[in-house]
Amino acid sequence: MISAPSGAGKTSLVNHVLHRVNNVCASVSHTTRSPRPGEIDGVNYYFVGLTEFERMDQENAFLESAKVHGNLYGTSRLWVENALKTGRNVILEIDWQGAQQIRDIFTDSCSIFILPPSKETLRQRLLGRGQDAPEVIEQRLAAAQEEMSHWREADFVLINDDFDITCQKLTNLLDKRSGQAFDDTTNPKLQSLITTLLP
């Protein structure tokens, strides 16, 4: 599992490492959120209506599901089981609620938390194109802090201060799972970073 607040660079990192690591694929989640410009159904997400999502949920079609920022997200049980049957490892890009559910099911799962290098970088990334009102940015920052408050639950934490280096660390983690993996919990910067990122 890979979790991160929005603005930490998780999706770009995952897309990058997928091309570098053998035998790994990324699960495509179902969501009730509307597609953003450029997003493709079946590639970024399976975009479904609330009724369809609830029907699937009742039929036990999700390995895990959660409400995130007001929308529902779920990981398809069938999709993941089929991928695992072919011998591949599966990356789930999910929030802390989903990660908790997956830990209960797969005791051999591994979770990685990605943190931004500073509060200012996070704010700048959340500002995006600068089209959002300040209160919207503050809401996103608060949501990011809520997500980040769960960083300790992960097996590994990576601080994404340099994209290429973080990519390499993530690649090593996925390649070796733990053996020669880097783990930023030994990074002396981590404790002071956490005190600035979280209230």
Smallest separation (angstroms) from ligand 5GP to the CB of 91? 11
Residue 68 binds to ligand 5GP (criterion: CB under 6 A): yes
Stretch that binds ligand 5GP, among 60-68, 113-121, 158-166, 186-194 (CB under 6 A): 60-68
Q: Give the residue, chosen from 32, 48, 80, 98, that forms a contact with ligand 5GP under the rule CB under 6 A.
A: 98
Residue 95 binds to ligand 5GP (criterion: CB under 6 A): yes
In the complex with ligand 5GP, the residue whose CB is nearer, 54 or 176, is 54
DSSP assignment of the chain equals -EE--TTS-HHHHHHHHHTTSTTEEE---EESSPPPTT--BTTTBEE--HHHHHHHHHTT-EEEEEEETTEEEEEEHHHHHHHHHTT-EEE-B--HHHHHHHHHH-TT---EEEE-S-HHHHHHHHHTTS-S-HHHHHHHHHHHHHHHTTGGGSSEEEE-SSHHHHHHHHHHHHHHTTTT---GGG-THHHHHHHHH--
Q: Which residues bind ligand 5GP (CB under 6 A)?
A: 6, 29, 33, 64, 66, 68, 73-75, 93-95, 97-98
